Amino acid sequence: MLQNILIVEDNPIIAFDTEEMLRELGAGTVRIANGLEDALEAIKECPPQIALLDVNLGTSTSYEIARRLMDLAIPFVFSTGYREDSAFPAPFQAVPSLRKPYTAEDLRSVMDGLKDRPAS
């Protein structure tokens, strides 16, 4: 498992559950950002190795964060309970996604797949 993971999630319960799952899977540093500005600042301060982005952040989406990660060639995965993969905007249709609610095994599988994959 990787050492520097960023979770972008506006629901604190989901964010903390995901952090706990990642730590149980052996992750080192796991940072949580609860919105667009927090996430962009976290990426600027210390770019993650991998990111997990909730698509719907309440009043915004994580697409701007996804664009920034793509610019930096940082792989990421979307997590969502609302959309089908085909509904993502064109630049993001090939990005892996996790359907909420997800399990630790789902998380392990998608994160393991990202480690060897460059950002889209």
Q: Domain of residue 57: give its range.
A: 4-115
Convert the pLDDT of each residue in 22-62 to its tens digit. 999 999 999 999 999 999 999 999 999 999 999 999 889 99
Quick check: 48 and 86 in contact, CB under 8 A?
no
Q: Rounded mean pLDDT of 77-83?
A: 83
Is residue 27 a part of any domain in this protein?
Answer: yes
Q: Could you tell me the pTM of the whole model?
A: 0.90
CATH of the domain at 38: 3.40.50.2300
Domain count within the chain: 1
Is residue 120 a part of any domain in this protein?
Answer: no
Is residue 55 a part of any domain in this protein?
Answer: yes
Convert the pLDDT of each residue in 9-23 to its tens digit. 999 999 999 999 999
The answer, yes or no, to whether residue 85 has pLDDT greater than 50, is: no
Q: Tell me whether residue 99 is exposed, middle or buried, using C-beta atoms within 10 angstroms of its C-beta: 0 to 12, 13 to 18, 19 or more.
A: middle
3-class secondary-structure state, position 119: coil
Is residue 86 a part of any domain in this protein?
Answer: yes
Residues 6+ apart with CB under 8 A from 116: none
Is residue 30 a part of any domain in this protein?
Answer: yes
Tokens of 102: 């997800």
Q: Rounded mean pLDDT of 87-100?
A: 87
Residues 6+ apart with CB under 8 A from 120: 70, 91, 92, 94, 95
